[in-house]
Amino acid sequence: MKQINDFKDKHVLVLGLAKSGLAAARLLHKLGAHVTVNDMLPLEENESAQELEAMGLSVVCGSHPPELLDGAEYIVKNPGIPYSNTLLAKALEMQIPIVTEVELAYLISEADMIGITGSNGKTTTTTLIHEMLLSDRKKSLIAGNIGTVACEVAEKADKDSIIVTELSSFQLMGTETFRPKIALMLNLFDAHLDYHGTREEYASAKSRIYANQQNSDFAVVNADDAEVVKAAAAGNGEKIFFSVKKELESGAYIKDGAVWFNDEKIIDVKEIVLPGRHNLENILAAVCAVKLSGAKTEAIRRVLTSFKGVKHRLQFIRTINGVKYYNDSKATNILATSKALQAFDAPTVLLAGGLDRGNEFDELIPFLGNVKTLITFGQTAPKLERIAADAGIEEVKRVDNVEQAAYAAFSLSQEGDIVLLSPACASWDQYKTFEQRGDMFENAVHKLK
């Protein structure tokens, strides 16, 4: 960890705890800052706040009093707290810098960082890169949304490490100097507009991953996504492209049924274990990142011939009576679900629904050709049932939750079918996280006979 003086004797407000706030507060305390922590959960119920108070930090819980901004020179906020929050809105007026802990991680890191963002596929791509680097015996550390809080990982990393970091738009929006050695954006699609307000602001937040790069850095770019190409053009990193649609002179692409990087054949597509055509995009992006990090082709091949995917992302659960069950709970938007549906040719029983963010689902209709039955749940059930009618799906059933959905799917499926939980919605109307939603489904499937 670099010993920096950026925060020494500075008054820093950490807004919101959870894992990232707790880690940021601990780190800032080590760096000599005067830290005040503010969280809505009352102190008597807040173990993290109690721990920090015992360390000597100032802790304010239960509300966001405006006097917290008095004397504040810096704010480190939980990524999930929107900038429309009254305290943050006032801080912006006062021109107090507001960052997320990813910025702290970059400032203290001795290691090079690979940053991965995009609307879909981040977790799979991050995991692939990490596993490929480990396969090549490199000192890879995984961080961000997928693993340990980035600033905790950066504390432990040395100059021989590589920190592979999954980054959300929420995290990137709160960066100022963050500059990954390799920055990668997979795609851009409408998401989190309830947080960002407009697609333009969402795209701007994502583009932060490229913004500070210099000529000695690498920007890995999806050549098939015009918005990603535009976002990368704003930075100065060397552009390395990947494409699933066309052969490229350099970068990663598909040719003659194989994955290539520059002029080197990496692997035949038929040898890749990870299911779904959409995962080729993730694989090509990962190949770019690890090749730029010096990984050998054999290390990449070892992973691609064994890696079956990550939990809650097109995760195969089991086969019952000739029906295959898949958990794709991490599909929290239309694009993710459309890609999941394209992964299968068999008749599909689709389980979908969740938090209503105000959008309609008409964009899903072209991908419902193989869906024989739709089982809905959550706030968006009526909207999904409407598009089922438009798509000509005759069998539709509404249930209360994913556990009931699993039981309904069991009774409505037959040999050769796919049962796919791919909600196309966030989970927060019924579940704390998409992981909790997926775990409930998986547990229900294992009870089926």
Q: Which pLDDT tens digit goes with each residue over 433-449?
A: 999 999 999 999 999 97
Q: CATH 3.90.190.20 in the chain: give the residue spans.
A: 315-447
Is a pLDDT exceeding 60 seen at residue 195? Answer: no
| Sole residue written with tokens 């690890």 | 290
Is a pLDDT exceeding 80 seen at residue 215? Answer: yes
Confidence band, pLDDT 50/70/90 cuts, at residue 191: low
The CATH class, in words, for 11-99 is alpha beta
- Tell me the mean pLDDT in the region 333-338: 91
Is a pLDDT exceeding 60 seen at residue 190? Answer: no
What's the pLDDT score for residue 189?
73
Q: Which pLDDT tens digit goes with each residue over 115-124?
A: 999 988 899 9
Q: CATH 3.40.50.720 in the chain: give the residue spans.
A: 11-99
121 is in an annotated binding site: yes
Higher pLDDT, 243 or 277: 243
What's the pLDDT score for residue 204?
87
- 102-304: CATH topology: UDP-N-acetylmuramoyl-L-alanine:D-glutamate ligase (3.40.1190)
123 is in an annotated binding site: yes
What's the pLDDT score for residue 197?
59
Structure tokens at 191: 């998401």
Is a pLDDT exceeding 80 seen at residue 194? Answer: no
Predicted TM-score (pTM) of the model is 0.81
Q: Which pLDDT tens digit goes with each residue over 54-111?
A: 999 999 999 999 999 999 999 999 988 888 899 999 999 999 999 999 999 999 999 9
Q: Which pLDDT tens digit goes with each residue over 357-391?
A: 889 999 999 999 999 999 999 999 999 999 999 99
| Superfamily of chain region 315-447 | Mur ligase, C-terminal domain (3.90.190.20)
Is a pLDDT exceeding 70 seen at residue 432? Answer: yes
122 is in an annotated binding site: yes
124 is in an annotated binding site: yes
Q: CATH 3.40.1190.10 in the chain: give the residue spans.
A: 102-304
Summary mean pLDDT of the chain: 94
Is a pLDDT exceeding 60 seen at residue 247? Answer: yes
Higher pLDDT, 375 or 196: 375
